[in-house]
Amino acid sequence: MSETIEVKKFTVYDDGGHCYCAVPLEFLRELRISKLISGFSYTDHNAGMVYVEEDCDMAIFCERMKADGIKFELEEEWVEPDEDSDFSRWIHQFDSYEGDDDCEEDQNTDGIEQWVYGEDDEEEDWDEDDEEEED
């Protein structure tokens, strides 16, 4: 018998300005990255959901899952502007994510350092001797 592999599914909301992936705060804690998510993301405290912003934080989230061997799918959903809303964009109904003060776990950056710290391994290995050899 073959073993069924669980695939985690997440919705990515596109509001025309940015995209935000809805992730339960508890899952970010399980991944040990809840303190690595920036203020560019948003949170719905009532639902326990973090809307992880595409430019900064979604890479940390997706790369952590890849490094942990977690299979996942992202499904995009367009969010229509609500002209009756008091908010200029859909995401602004939520609070800016201000970190996870309730999490006491160390954060897991193994294998995702370049996404967390902006390091580029290729640049670190480069030196002038390599360039001279190519000429």
Tens-place pLDDT, residues 10-56: 999 998 888 999 999 999 999 999 999 999 999 999 999 999 999 98
Alpha-carbon torsion angle 95, 99, 104, 105, nearest 10: 120
User: Domain for residue 60, yes or no?
Assistant: yes
Tell me the whole-structure pTM to 2 decimals.
0.80
Residue that the structure tokens 């008091």 belong to: 86
User: Domain for residue 69, yes or no?
Assistant: yes
User: Domain for residue 2, yes or no?
Assistant: no
User: Domain for residue 124, yes or no?
Assistant: yes
Half-sphere exposure of 34 (CA within 13 A, CB side): 21
User: Domain for residue 71, yes or no?
Assistant: yes
User: Domain for residue 66, yes or no?
Assistant: yes
User: Domain for residue 34, yes or no?
Assistant: yes
Domains identified in the chain, total number: 1
Q: Which structural domain range is residue 47 located in?
A: 7-101+108-134
